[in-house]
Amino acid sequence: MTRITVLSMLLCLLLVPAGFGLALPLDDGVAGGIRAMLEEVSAPVEIEVSGCRISTFSVIPELYERRSYRPFWTNSDAIDQMIRAIGEIYLEGLDPDDYHLREILRLRSTARDGGIASDPMAAASLDLLLTDAFVRLAYHSMCGKEDPVTYHPQWNVTAKIDETDPVEFIEQRISSPSITKTIRELKISHSYYEGLKWALAEYRMLRSSGGWEPVPEGPTLKRGMADPRVEALRRRLALTDDLPEASAEPMNFDLALERAVMRFQGRHGLKPDGVAGKNTIAAMNVTVQDRIDQIRVNLERARWALRGIDLDERYVLVDIAGFRVIYLQGNMVIWSSRAQVGQPYRDTPVLRSAIVHVEFNPAWVVPPGIFQKDILPELLKNRGYLKKKDLKVIDNRGKAVDPKTIDWHNYVNRPFPYMLRQTPGENSALGRIKIYFPNEYLVYLHDTPSKALFEEEDRTFSSGCIRVERPLELAELLLDDPSRWNMRRIEEAAESGRNQKVRLPRPVTILLMYWTVEVGQDGTIYFKKDPYDRDGLVLEGLGRDEDIRPTTDDMYTSHGTK
């Protein structure tokens, strides 16, 4: 059997003559069949219809009950549109068979042959499968297939969905005169998401042409060398358009190849030194299939997070896996800066909030977790640690406590009844500015004295907060008040040493997101490392792409859709 692309499949459906998708017989037999299947069980559990599991059981019974179990899908054009919508979900990185495509096509073919007209239960099955497919497709398009809480237990990035109850929400849309338009309007409309869809199509095309052969392992390759492996390196870089030109001496590592390696490194979160060392070769040898699945995982994450982002709205995005903070106006990047994020065992959380104020020369209050894991072990080794770090012990009345009066051993893995506070200054962990947004994790954006760490490739150094390389520039954008808070005034406030909180004129949305693929405004595809090892878990829920390719030629021809 020859595999075909989903676009070919959709073309086949578009060529079907009008009226081919016969309507279901609208009679009491079909309504009775639907009612019988839905009333088989008394509790909201999955039921099996024509060999398929219907998992939206909590919505579907009431949908049909409100219309006396009459079928929804009595219009042939609506059925055609629904089938097209299911096929097109492949372009979003989802599996058409999660929406009963094969069985719907089989039953639809039976309807064409007149078989369903004499079999009300088969007609009822087709109607239920189409309805279940619509419900799944609607919610998966809006919010993702997987539940983000499974991967982020404290997930708070709630999708903004119509506030009507779920049954009414579906009822209004399933009866729309245009299923195509309805489904399209439910999908994420954001440049990040559209870029990922384009990247998915590009890498699937690379897969269909055979992908790439691995570059043989061996010694580091760099400019000026001649080596048989250089030819393999050239072929690999040419496939992903990192190397735009051929060479008369393919085994020589020349300047053009060095630039191509640097471009590849820049697209994969590697230090762009133009040297093809172990890490660079390893990134090149990640298979095209794995890159496809990486893109699909991030499409799912985008569905989780991007609904409700107003394209005219300004917001801050913390790109955790990319170690960056970005300020955007709609789809346009206005400003970006390197960042340091949480260590793998103290990861920066994924969340959505709103920045409400900036604080110049903030004091740092040591969180309990950092006290137990970092501060206390140092104190037990060196009693001078508090003085060195300019940390003071404060009681619950705000009075200073002499640290010599405290038996620190008593608080190993036990609550510490005091507060440790670091006063503002050169050694302050928060530097000269803190950018605050309410959240249960007590994380925020801040300056840092550890400037040298911004030069590192993998910047997982903090205890969860986000250290920003150029925080004063971000503060100027957030305060958005050139007459009162231009850069000169901001620098003066930061250098004064005086603690000062300044409220933003209006809150600014902030998203802390974990995305390991993105597409630049110029169409460049960037793959990032997975510092917290999260991609695999999401992929397990989605299923690998190689297992969900579109249906085959003969499956469609056997059901009369060509």
- CATH for 317: 2.40.440.10
pLDDT digits (tens, 9 = 90+) for 494-548: 999 999 999 999 999 999 999 999 999 899 999 999 999 999 999 999 988 776 6
- How far apart CA 554 and CA 562 sit, in angstroms, is 10
List, in order, residues 6 or more apart from 244 with CB less than 8 Å away. 238, 260
In this structure, the answer to whether residues 316 and 168 fall within a common structural domain is no
Give the model's pLDDT for residue 468.
98
Angstrom distance (rounded) from CA 353 to CA 347 = 17
What pLDDT does residue 338 have? 98
* 3-class secondary structure, 421: strand
Distances (CA, A) of 270 to 138, 219, 221, 515: 38, 18, 16, 16
Per the domain annotation, does 337 fall within a domain?
yes
Q: What backbone torsions phi and psi does residue 364 show, to the nearest 5 degrees?
A: -105, 120
Geometric angle at alpha carbon 459, from 191 and 508, rounded to 5°: 45
Picking from 267, 292, 124, the residue whose alpha carbon sits closest to that of residue 200 is 292
CA distance 219 to 189: 46
Q: How many domains does the chain have?
A: 2
CA distance 307 to 470: 29
Task: Give yes or no: residues 319 and 182 share one domain.
Answer: no
The last residue of a domain, from among 141, 156, 187: 187
Residue 555 within any structural domain of the chain: no
Does residue 306 lie within any of the structural domains?
no
Which domain-ending residue is among 136, 160, 187?
A: 187
Boundary-marking domain end, from 171, 187, 203: 187
Interatomic CA distance for residues 99 and 559, integer angstroms: 17
Inside any domain, residue 232: no
Polymer length in residues for the chain: 562
**CA distance linking residue 325 with residue 469, whole number of Å:** 9
Give 22-76 pLDDT, tens digit per residue: 444 556 788 988 898 887 655 567 788 888 888 766 788 889 999 999 999 988 8
Q: Is residue 76 part of a domain?
A: yes
**301 belongs to a structural domain:** no
Residue 146 domain boundaries: 6-187
Q: Report yes or no on 125 lying in a domain.
A: yes
Cα–Cα distance, 235 to 394 (Å, whole number):
64
123 domain-assigned = yes
Report how far apart the first and last C-alpha atoms of the chain are (Å, whole number).
Answer: 16
> Number of C-alpha atoms within 13 angstroms, CB side, residue 404?
2
Low-confidence ranges of the chain (pLDDT < 50): 1-24, 551-562
Q: Which residues pair with 419 in a beta bridge?
A: 394
- Reduce the DSSP state of residue 493 to 3 states and report it: helix
**Rounded CA separation 243/257 (Å):** 7
Do residues 183 and 315 share a domain?
Answer: no
